Amino acid sequence: MRTNSGSVLTAWAAALLCVLAAGCGKSVKGHTYAGNGQLVSIQFQPDGKAYASMGPMTSSCTYTQNDKNITLICEGDTEELTMNSDGSLSGPPDGMLAHLTRTK
């Protein structure tokens, strides 16, 4: 049986790309998440700063991430978020940040 080396190389490149993409998806850095019918959004900046918006109001925040745990501090209030296996974020189940999905 003969295999086409180009096909094998393409398959390996695709597999490597999938692994790299999955690794990049584990950080909130540089991404925006939204939830609650797009009423709430959080823009995570690369420098540990974030902007949390609820409707027309935006607050300057800071954040840290340790593996799947994200601590968001806005105007003295601390929220603990968890990154789920699908890349979405979960916060307090009865709050405005209960479930956030990545928009960009």
Asked if pLDDT for residue 10 goes beyond 50, the answer is no
* CA separation, residue 45 to residues 7, 9, 19, 40 (Å): 39, 36, 24, 16
Whether 85 is covered by a domain: the verdict is yes
Amino acid identity for residue 1 in this structure: M
Q: What is residue 36's predicted lDDT score, i.e. its pLDDT? A: 85
Higher pLDDT, 77 or 5: 77
- Please name which of 78, 81, 73, 76 lies closest in space to residue 27, comparing C-alpha atoms: 81
Residue with the two structure tokens 């709050």 = 95
- DSSP single-letter state for residue 18: H
Which domain covers residue 38, as residue numbers?
28-102
Whether 8 is covered by a domain: the verdict is no
Whether 2 is covered by a domain: the verdict is no
Q: What CATH code is carried by the domain that includes residue 65? A: 2.40.128
- Per residue in 16-35, pLDDT (tens digit) is 334 334 444 589 999 999 99
In this prediction the pTM is: 0.73
- Residue 58 token pair: 């935006």
Q: What is residue 104's predicted lDDT score, i.e. its pLDDT? A: 82
Angstrom distance (rounded) from CA 59 to CA 32: 14
Higher pLDDT, 3 or 93: 93
Whether 90 is covered by a domain: the verdict is yes
Q: What is residue 8's predicted lDDT score, i.e. its pLDDT? A: 42
Whether 20 is covered by a domain: the verdict is no
How many domains are contained in the chain? 1
